[in-house]
Amino acid sequence: MPGWMIRSVFLLNSWVIRTLVLFSFTAHLVLVVLAGFRRREAIGVRVTILWAANQLGRSAATYALSKLALGSTPQELQLVTLWGAFLLLHAAGPDNITAYSLEDNILSTRQKFEMFFQVTGALYAMYKNIVVRSGTGTMVWVSSFMFILGIVKYWERAKAVQLANLKNMRSSIKKKKEEEEKISRRRRSLRYVWRASSWLEQDCEEEALLVAHGLLDITKGAFVDSSVDEHRIPEYVAKRREIFPKSGWEMLYNVVDMELSLMYDILYTKAAMVHTWHGYAIRFISPLITTTAFLLFWFDSKQGQRMADVLITYVLLTSTVLLDIIWLLRAVVSTWTYSFLNDRPRLWFHHALLCSGKWRFLRRLVFSLDLSQFLAEGPSSYRKWSGKIGQYNLLHECTRDKHKRSSNYLSSLVKKVVSEDQWMEYEYHNLRGTHISPGVKKKLFDCIWEFMRLAYPVEDGAEEKTKKEEDEKKKKEKKEEEKKKPDEHHHVEAVRKLEEVLDFLPEFQESILILHIATDIFLLYTKSEQSPSSKIDVEVIKALSNYMMFLVAVRPGMLPGLKLRSLYEATDDALAKVWPKQESSSRCKSGSRKKCLADILRDKEKHDITSDTREKPDKWRQGYRTKNWKPKYITELYTLSIVLSDGIKLANILLHWLRCSYGVKFPKSDYESKFQQMFPKLTEILKVEMYDDPCKFAKLLEHIFLEWVRLLINASVKCTRDSQAKQLSRGGELTTIVWILVEHAGIFHVDRHQR
């Protein structure tokens, strides 16, 4: 091979390495800046860039390390090992992200081999430079310092991923309980949970975050399906008024919101490792090591080195020093550190930092220097759930212009470059989603809180005294029985109590579809009855109906049961068969398209084909809820979709009850028992004869709202833990908030006078 070709190959190889090092560094910075947006966004430009940086950055680090190990040129002798150490630091990732998805916390064989080869590549590069080529001088010390730091941080990331695995988390919690029972030591007491009695309006989020640290065991146990120790529940109930001095759900909601953000830290960042003794030690030592390496390189001779290589090295060293200082400051002023010290009251640091108030002063000072947090209106605001819920309306989607499926140009572009599921996520959450208004939020959670009061009431004072006396008498007898029963037994009993109050049924998506259709059509035909006083009721019903339909159509994994979309797709196909045939008819020209489609559906529901001699009665087919009985009459709509037929039947029943002056009669067959099982709150009002009561419409709206809240709570508590954990890294979800709120209500209980 000619000499010029050899020189060209070496030159090309050296610039490939430089490019990969810079690319790895850029990807690392992107992760640092954009990682936090996943707390509040499911999809978007920033999240897409973050995903790309996470994927490509790791690949670049792995490939560059292999290139450094296999073929370094003579010009790279002084810097090759140092670059390898930086690549290892980049592969370890920043403190604010370890896993992009929940599956990343399961270290597969491929990932273990990838980590092994990355470390091996850096080791071989160092061996090649020092031993084989007899490297000496200052650069050897600089490379050695950075290499050791890279190995330690890489190990820290691997350990954080291991701790974030839900299976490992459950095993560690179970093991901890067993160890504490063996040594007869009380578990973590609520004595050091931050008291909320000093909560102020301006510090509400900050105080909620401190309380959340003390109660995090509840949320962590819920995610790994390990309930709180039954013996500790009386302690929680006794401390309820002290921790939450105000009645109602507002304070608890803020705490639950912060607890979920802390769970995000555990699952998707290095928080589980950073806030330990060795984690703090690494944060304090890292700036010293990187600063020392920077100074040694500064005073080292640059003779024989390319200017481009020197500049790259300075950029890497300077940025690493700054990032290490940032991670140190963030670790010190983090509320995780407050919780760490609060659990260790005998430490000197506890009195020096917490009792003296120096920690709070330092936290305010550091966050005042951070412009991004200042714009977020407080150091804890970025942790809050965005309050945005997706919206999907089945009838509206069916009647939209087929040539304008997307709401804007950007959505059309997204649809061309991503999958259908991702586009639907972007379209129906990012673009059409709605932020819950304060009025809707208050009405919704007031209703949820009332359901919690029915399920988990607090006994009166006299009853509590009697119960305490009885408990003391039976304490010894129950002790042996409680040891035999696992904690999960009590959790199952608590869920069953809630199921009994709310009459949950296992068939879920069908109930949402039927009630969604019935609600939409009922509101379409009652616009004249809707007054300004009922505006908030109609608003919250529409928001809940479209949100639950959004879960069915876009996020079926957030609903209980199998992750199936067949029922929704079959209903959508049935609507598509009905609408195009009538789209051009004269009666569809006036009024809204949704109203026109509703008229068509109601007309088809009126057509009884069993009485038509031209139609055969064997058109009937067994449905999800009709396998044990056959309806007395089969409608034309029923032959297309049982769900559509049931939705129209329910809407007709609601309209009939509202506008007639006598009690409503259900259709023939077993529809009364069917709707009674599916919608007990709704059928409850339909059996009441209110005649011409002026509050009739308001009462019906209230019971429709109660039914939607029932379904929301059902979806929340029965969704799989893995799905809830995955959604934490995709902007969060209303159902997750409700689920953890229910978990807390089951432990703290709810006063009868609270609402």
- Which of 6-20, 109-123, 132-146, 497-511 is predicted least confidently? 6-20
716, pLDDT greater than 90:
yes
Distance CA 234, CA 491 (A): 15
Supply the pLDDT for residue 637. Answer: 82
Collapsing DSSP states into helix, strand and coil, what is residue 45? helix
- 571 pLDDT tier (thresholds 50, 70, 90): confident
Distance CA 491, CA 223 (A): 13
Supply the pLDDT for residue 616. Answer: 47
Higher-scoring residue by pLDDT: 128, 541: 541
Higher-scoring residue by pLDDT: 157, 202: 157
Q: What is the dihedral of CA 213, 215, 216, 217, to 10 degrees?
A: 140
138, pLDDT greater than 50:
yes
Q: What is the dihedral of CA 400, 402, 405, 407, to 10 degrees?
A: -60
583, pLDDT greater than 90:
no
CA distances from residue 439 to 436, 442, 700 in whole angstroms, order as listed? 8, 5, 20
647, pLDDT greater than 70:
yes
The gap from C-alpha 572 to its chain's centroid, in whole angstroms, comes to 28
Let me know if residue 431 belongs to a domain. no
Supply the pLDDT for residue 237. Answer: 76
Supply the pLDDT for residue 256. Answer: 94
- Which of 65-79, 378-392, 735-749 is predicted least confidently? 65-79
Average pLDDT on 125-137 reads 61
Collapsing DSSP states into helix, strand and coil, what is residue 745? helix
Tokens of 651: 């809407």
Q: Are 547 and 390 in contact (CB under 8 A)?
A: yes
| Count of Cβ atoms closer than 10 Å to residue 179 Cβ | 10
Q: Are 240 and 227 in contact (CB under 8 A)?
A: no
| Count of Cβ atoms closer than 10 Å to residue 433 Cβ | 21
- 381 pLDDT tier (thresholds 50, 70, 90): confident
Q: For the chain, give percent helix, strand, coil, nearest 5.
A: 75, 0, 25
Supply the pLDDT for residue 486. Answer: 46
Let me know if residue 219 belongs to a domain. no
Average pLDDT on 84-103 reads 87
Distance CA 507, CA 233 (A): 32
Place of tokens 């806030």: 275
Higher-scoring residue by pLDDT: 32, 500: 32
Tokens of 202: 């301006």
Winning range, highest mean pLDDT, from 230-244, 296-310, 658-672: 296-310
C-alpha radius of gyration, the chain, whole number: 31
* Residue type for position 399: T
Supply the pLDDT for residue 328. Answer: 93
* CA diameter of the chain: 102
**Paired sense of beta strands 434-435 and 388-389, if any:** antiparallel
Supply the pLDDT for residue 588. Answer: 58
Winning range, highest mean pLDDT, from 474-483, 532-541, 680-689: 532-541
- Which of 26-30, 44-48, 94-98, 489-493 is predicted least confidently? 489-493
Let me know if residue 493 belongs to a domain. no
Mean per-residue pLDDT of the chain = 78
Average pLDDT on 349-378 reads 69
Tokens of 266: 């555990």
Distance CA 657, CA 680 (A): 16
Supply the pLDDT for residue 74. Answer: 47
Tokens of 470: 């009885």
- Which of 40-54, 420-434, 574-588 is predicted least confidently? 574-588
Let me know if residue 579 belongs to a domain. yes
- Of the chain, the percentage scoring pLDDT greater than 70 comes to 71
Q: Are 285 and 182 in contact (CB under 8 A)?
A: no
Last-in-domain residue among 331, 353, 379: 331
Average pLDDT on 667-682 reads 70
264 Cβ contact partners less than 8 Å away, ≥ 6 residues apart: 39, 728, 729
Q: Are 251 and 199 in contact (CB under 8 A)?
A: yes
What is the count of structural domains for the chain? 2
Average pLDDT on 559-584 reads 76
48, pLDDT greater than 50:
yes
- 624 pLDDT tier (thresholds 50, 70, 90): very low
Supply the pLDDT for residue 133. Answer: 54
327, pLDDT greater than 50:
yes
Let me know if residue 126 belongs to a domain. yes
325 Cβ contact partners less than 8 Å away, ≥ 6 residues apart: 287
Collapsing DSSP states into helix, strand and coil, what is residue 418? coil
What is the DSSP code (8-state) at residue 609? Answer: G
73, pLDDT greater than 70:
no
Supply the pLDDT for residue 323. Answer: 94
Last-in-domain residue among 331, 358, 374: 331
Tokens of 733: 């979800």
Distance CA 582, CA 666 (A): 29
Let me know if residue 23 belongs to a domain. yes
550 Cβ contact partners less than 8 Å away, ≥ 6 residues apart: 389, 390, 391, 392, 428, 429
**pLDDT digits 0-9 by tens, 234-244:** 777 777 777 88
Higher-scoring residue by pLDDT: 680, 408: 680
Average pLDDT on 251-260 reads 92
Place of tokens 């499926």: 405
53, pLDDT greater than 60:
yes
Supply the pLDDT for residue 469. Answer: 47
Supply the pLDDT for residue 493. Answer: 55
Report the b/e string of 30-62 with b at 16+ CB within 10 A. Answer: bbbebbbbbbbbbbbeebbebeebbeebbebbb
What is the full DSSP assignment across 301-361? --TT--HHHHHHHHHHHHHHHHHHHHHHHHHHHSHHHHHHHHT-TTSHHIIIIIITSHHHH
Q: Are 615 and 609 in contact (CB under 8 A)?
A: yes
**pLDDT digits 0-9 by tens, 167-204:** 888 888 777 776 666 554 455 556 556 554 454 554 67
Let me know if residue 75 belongs to a domain. yes
Supply the pLDDT for residue 552. Answer: 93
- Work out the end-to-end distance of the chain between its first and last CA atoms, rounded to an integer number of angstroms: 85
Distance CA 299, CA 578 (A): 80
445, pLDDT greater than 90:
yes
Tokens of 368: 């005042």
Residue 244 gets the label, from left (phi > 0), alpha (psi -120 to 50) or beta, of beta
Q: What is the dihedral of CA 217, 96, 432, 102, to 10 degrees?
A: -60
Q: Are 456 and 745 in contact (CB under 8 A)?
A: yes
Let me know if residue 721 belongs to a domain. yes
Domain hosting 555: range is: 505-525+539-740
**pLDDT digits 0-9 by tens, 497-514:** 665 566 665 568 888 999
